[in-house]
Amino acid sequence: MVKKTYGLLLCLGALITGCTTNTVSIPDNHYSDAYRGVPSPASILLLPISPDKDEYRHGVSAVTHLLVEDLQTRHTVETVSVPVFNASWQQAIEDVGGIYSATSGEFDRERYFRAVEELLQELNPEGDHDIVIFPALVERQAQSTGKYATWDGVRRANITDGLDNARFSRWHGSVGAVSLQLNSFDGQGRWLATSYGGLVLPHFYTIKDKIPRTHLKDDMFADENALEEGVRLAVVPLLGPVVKNK
């Protein structure tokens, strides 16, 4: 049930941003027409981080700590426990009749937003919180040039074992990466912004017997400096006026 609940939260970001590979040096953020940034100080309700994949769960605690720390430089932050959130979100989905079409199985955007409104009636009934944030650790596509990969505002080194410069050419193109995604709503459940910050590259590469192999890092979230940079990038649109992507 928890895994299913987490997966539902990632729909909005995918719906708004699509599946475009990010090849620019700035995060591929998206904003509502009315969004001009968050006045300081604001009261923020921070929901639990939803990991896109099971292997990302190891980073939830560290990223949550950094996210709260950054947001608290300008705003007051209240968090919601995972059990409370899961129960409230599941009830909100049931109240709107589900967020997938009963006939086609496709994601229903209108019902999703209604479910968010239902959720905030439960978690923010008096409207005390100005902003509500749905954070997630999501898989993104980075543009690799061999030794380095860039995505969502960051540049990270590809970790390899036994590869010389010529063999790096095998990893030119798109590679998987992990970013922090923040879906932000106002206190009534109206979508305001989706922002990103690149965190880590989850894989390392080897060649054995002339066969290239890709491996999952056991310690992918161990670099605190990388996590700090990615969190800061995702939070920037919530700390002052925004410059909207053209």
Show Cβ contacts of residue 4 under 8 Å, excluding neighbours closer than 6 positions.
none
Residue 80 has pLDDT above 80, yes or no: yes
| CB-based burial, 128-158: b 16+ in 10 Å, e otherwise | ebbbbbbbbbbebbbbbebeebbbbbbebeb
Please, where are the H alpha helices in 18-81?
60-71
Give mean pLDDT, residues 84-109: 93
One-letter amino acid of 65: H
- pLDDT at residue 26, rounded to an integer: 78
Whole-model pTM: value is 0.84
- pLDDT at residue 28, rounded to an integer: 85
pLDDT (tens digit, 9 = 90+) per residue, 123-163?
999 999 999 999 999 999 999 887 889 999 999 988 766 55
∠11-67-228 over CA atoms, to 5°?
110
H or E element that contains 91: helix 82-95
| DSSP secondary structure string for all residues of 128-187 | --SEEEEEEEEEEEEEEESSEEEETTEEEEPEEES--TTGGGGGEEEEEEEEEEEEEEET
Is 16 in contact with 194 (CB distance < 8 Å)?
A: yes
Classify 216 as helix, strand or coil. strand
